[in-house]
Amino acid sequence: MHRISLNYTLGPAAAPALVRNPLLDLLQAVSVQGSISAAARALGLSYRHVWGELKRWEAELGQPLILWEKGQAARLTVFAAKLLMAERQVQARLLPQIEALRGDLERAFAIAFDESAHVLSLNASYDQGLAALAEEARSGRLYLDIRFTGSVDAIRALNEGRCTMAGFHVRQPAAPDSLSRHTYKPLLRPGLHKLIGFARRSQGLIVAPGNPLALCGLRDLPRPGVRFVNRARGTGTRVVFDELLGELGVSPFSIRGYDVDEPSHAAVAQAVASGEADAGFGIEASARDRGLDFIPLVEEAYFLACLKSTLDQSAVRALLALLGSSAWQRRLVSLPGYQPSNSGEVLSMSRVLPWWRFPRRK
């Protein structure tokens, strides 16, 4: 069995949050580029280096990695393709934990370098917009200590004092009597909590390129031969998905794979990309990242909830200013399926969520 060791880079332009593996990066480049020379150019390496590394890894693993045929593009062997796909699936599944680990390290170093840096703890449903926000915030000396968890657990963490903010999302317009209402209303109290506008995003079916099964919506999921992959219970996406099924009268038990779940949108998209599933329910950005097709089904608002008493904290004020900035909103629009929505505005819960009714003052 081959052992794993991890390392990280400290610097102003560190690598992305993914745990990097030089061999898998080489295989991915060859798979995409179709030749050793093109892969080397894409990676900024010499042909000789890439060739030597591939040969070294073949000797190390005792398996061929690349197929060369005269007049044909270089191709991965079956073993190399399986290795690459397995690693990408694990990366997608562990993405929230990897992001959290990077956040822990960056927070520790931020305080070590600058004790005046703002640190804000945030528990939230995993979202690519939030990951981008954390990156944008660092340039302004604001460090978001994000713990990616389900929306329900995020709000519970807020109420138990384990974080300063909680991220969750609901369909728009929010229905007065819905699964979302029954899920979130008991956890939120007008007057005690405040909502901060973050983004509007699109959720729908993630399918293979070209949509080979011609899926149009959730009513198609029970069709024979359709394999589905779900999000975990307690996530906001699972709440939205179950809500939609109930409104359409589609039984969860009629869907093959309803009980097969993944911990993130990225993992759902990767399951479809690998051929393990034909469809998943998630955000558009994750589908586009992996070259998949996307069928939009619902628009939702993503909110950040906090206690009213924390609005005057310096870290919270810094976050509100960042959310309202034109630079951040331009970056948010660049993510597929995202739009600013009251970004940085403090919102009344009873105004944006029609779950409470109060008598009018005479």
Structural domains of the chain, ranges and CATH numbers in brackets: 22-76 (1.10.10.10), 89-352 (3.40.190.290)
* pLDDT higher than threshold 80 for residue 108: no
The predicted model scores a pTM of 0.79
Ramachandran angles phi, psi of 192, nearest 5°: -90, -45
Extended beta strands in the chain, E state: 66-67, 75-76, 118-124, 142-148, 165-171, 193-207, 228-231, 261-262, 279-283, 293-307, 338-340, 346-347
The percent of residues above 90 in pLDDT, for the chain, comes to 57
Mean pLDDT for all residues in the chain: 88
Q: Which residues contact 44 (CB under 8 A, 6 or more apart)?
A: none
Question: What number of helices (H) and strands (E) belong to the chain?
Answer: 13, 12
* pLDDT higher than threshold 90 for residue 347: yes
Band of residue 358 on the pLDDT scale cut at 50, 70, 90: low
Neighbours of 113 (CB within 10 A): 9
Beta bridge partners of 282: 204
Count of residues making up the chain: 362
